[in-house]
Amino acid sequence: MLKSLLMLWLACLPIAAHAGDVETAATRFREAQQAVRAHTTSDGFEVDSSPAAVIALQAQWAAARDLVTALLDHDPGIAPTALARQAKRSAGLGVYALRLDRDAILVDAVSGEFGTAFLFRRGEDGHHHAVLALDAPAAEPMRLAPALAAWQPGNAADTCRSRPAGREWYRCGPMTVARLIRLPSEVGADRRFAILGSYVLPMGGTVPYQLTVWRWDGRTATPMLTRTFSQTLTQPVFVSQDKRGFALRVKEEFRSFTACEECGGRQAIWRFDLPPTGATPPRVRSLSPELDLVDRFYARLAAHRPTGDLAAQSVPARLRDVEVNMLKPWRYLSRGKAGAQICVDTISFDRPQIFRIVRRGSRLWIANVAFARPHACEGQGAHS
């Protein structure tokens, strides 16, 4: 056992994987990958909490890094698609790459359900060097973005989320890369990119994600913005990108309603507009502002706070004894510039409720509420 741990530890040490070493690096990766499988559950989504599992993951990502280094050194001008083919063919390593400039290439590496990302720079010696490895982030990126800890092999075991600091779940992996995003350069010509990662979970209909936006000045990669969020398996995460920024679709929390694990919950668009330099927090736009209004109304009602700015006086009088619980199907019955009718049901409602919502200036306002027949909120256009 001790000999195996020592061999795995030695495998983590950096080696000079240059042109001509592709076959050696590929063999080393396959061996490291097999060692990780010995510590992985049968479904492939979890690793055990033993020290050997941590060392095996470290060795796997070190071997993946060396393999990509060897492939880049062998053909410095290789296209990203060709790099992916070579990595898959030589060692079964899943790779996706983005060139940031002539000498820098961003690479994500995937083995089974787990993944990491590297940034390689071609040095003056003609060889490629990893200047960023998410599985082993340097001290400064970790200080600026503590959530990067989730990429470290030491935080990959499921026991990480049960520790006393378990409320900081975003620091616990394992992780994989969902998307690499090339972003517009800054005014000063420094490049920007984003890494969208997902937290690997063995079950559940909602997946946590981590977004980091980076600056690359030609020598150092610096995280400028970090966000963690969740989304259901049935909804897209990456929505769009243009010259000014990009947008993500996110599952947020309600104030009074709850949503099941597989349900869409409160869906919102996070729009990241990139300033001339740096990165700024997203602008948030709800995809169901009328439902948000009903949610705020019930939160006020539960707290025994005034609701006159949200609803007509007759509305709280009709709903004062109604309890709010997990959302059942809800849907828009009508929706236009003047207002909307929205049907809302929860597990605790005796009957679904139909809210008539109008505009008062720039704000939405509940004009009336009526009780509906059972299952009125089901049917075409229903959400949950």
The model's confidence at residue 175, banded by pLDDT at 50, 70 and 90, is: very high
Q: What confidence score (pLDDT) does residue 173 get?
A: 95
pLDDT tens digits, one per residue of 240-283:
999 999 999 999 999 999 999 999 999 999 999 999 999 999 99
Best CA proximity match to 338, nearest among 353, 364, 358: 358
pLDDT score of 219: 93
* Position 2 pLDDT exceeds 50: no
| pLDDT of the residue at 20 | 46
What pLDDT was estimated at residue 203? Answer: 86
* pLDDT band of 164, cuts 50, 70, 90: low
Radius of gyration of the chain (CA): 25
Task: Please report which confidence band the pLDDT of residue 160 belongs to, taking 50, 70 and 90 as the band edges.
Answer: confident
Count of residues for the chain? 384
The pLDDT value given to residue 14 = 43
Quote the pLDDT of residue 384: 84
Average pLDDT over residues 318-331: 90
Structure tokens at 8: 């795995």
The yes-or-no verdict on residue 102 having pLDDT over 70 is yes
Domain positions in the chain are 1-132, 289-371
* Closest among 65, 72, 125 to 99, alpha carbons compared: 72
Handedness of CA 163, 170, 168, 291 (dihedral sign): negative
Is pLDDT above 50 for 7?
no
pLDDT at 333: 96
- What is the distance between the alpha carbons of residues 134 and 128, in angstroms, rounded to a whole number? 17
Q: Determine the average pLDDT of the residues in 321-340.
A: 91
Q: Are 248 and 266 in contact (CB under 8 A)?
A: no
**pLDDT over 90 (residue 229):** yes
What is the structure's pLDDT at 18? 46
Q: Above 90 in pLDDT, residue 25?
A: yes
Distance CA 102, CA 179 (A): 21
Prior bond of 316 cis (ω within 30°): no
